[in-house]
Chains A and B, each alone.
Chain A
Amino acid sequence: GAVVSQHPSWVICKSGTSVKIECRSLDFQATTMFWYRQFPKQSLMLMATSNEGSKATYEQGVEKDKFLINHASLTLSTLTVTSAHPEDSSFYICSAPGGAEGLFFGEGSRLTVL
């Protein structure tokens, strides 16, 4: 079946640095991808909708200058956490529409900012 893959699966970085997370659709084209943030013991929070060839749509309260999203091709969307701080530490998950299955999810990327 369709697969969405994320990389890296976990990353540790120093405060103030930037981190890029990739989300790829492996056997299908995704004109739209979604980025979520998952806090411990909480549900997934939609951060933004990534649109191929156009600007991402951010949810209210999400800083677009901190969480840069690029969807340069039909199989790749990237999330860059700029000038990361410890409060940005979280589990980030991407997904793509999967027709009748709802959504296909990536494996998730755990970011730890020291």
Chain B
Amino acid sequence: GDSVTQMEGPVTLSEEAFLTINCTYTATGYPSLFWYVQYPGEGLQLLLKATKADDKGSNKGFEATYRKETTSFHLEKGSVQVSDSAVYFCALIHSGGYQKVTFGTGTKLQVIP
């Protein structure tokens, strides 16, 4: 079945550091890939997405490229801020529909001043 693997956290970075959160997936067919962010005490919000191979999703300085050859969708940001502290979830939505959403375990990011 489908699966999403994320790097374990927490990840602690100083402000303005470079961020990479690794995400790899296993799936049949051509799923869409998403990154969701969960700020403390809140639900999940869509951060960015990519629907086909080589697509790059970007938002709020975050980027991720859909790499089919390496089955990866790593999240990157060049300079993190304290306000980026949150839990980040990589997710895969298969063509089977939203019932088939597969989430990674989430990676907690802590940015210190």
Contact = CB atoms under 8 A, between A and B. Distances in A.
B43 A6 contact: yes
Contacts of B101: 34, 46, 102-103
Interface in A67-84: none
Contacts of B34: 102
Given A102-B49, A102-B91, A105-B36, A43 B44 contact: no
A102 B46 contact: yes
A107 B42 contact: yes
A100 B34 CA distance: 11
A107 B43 contact: yes
Contact of B32 (A41, A44, A46, A102): A102
B41 interface: yes
Interface residues of A, number: 24
Given A9-B41, A107-B42, A42 B91 contact: no
A8 interface: no
Interface stretch (B14-22, B61-69, B73-81, B102-110): B102-110
Task: State which size class the interface on B falls in.
Answer: 20 to 34
Nearest to A41: B105
Given A43-B106, A97-B98, A102 B93 contact: yes
Contacts of A108: 41-43
A49 B104 CA distance: 20
A113 interface: no
A21 interface: no
Contact of A93 (B43, B49, B93, B104): B43
Contacts of A95: 44, 98
A32 interface: yes
Interface in B17-45: 32, 34, 36, 41-45
Interface of A: 4, 6, 9, 32, 34, 41-44, 46, 49, 57, 93, 95, 97-98, 100-103, 105-108
Given A34-B99, A108-B41, 16 more contacts: A34-B101, A43-B104, A43-B105, A46-B99, A57-B99, A93-B44, A101-B46, A102-B32, A102-B34, A102-B46, A102-B98, A102-B101, A103-B46, A105-B45, A107-B42, A108-B42
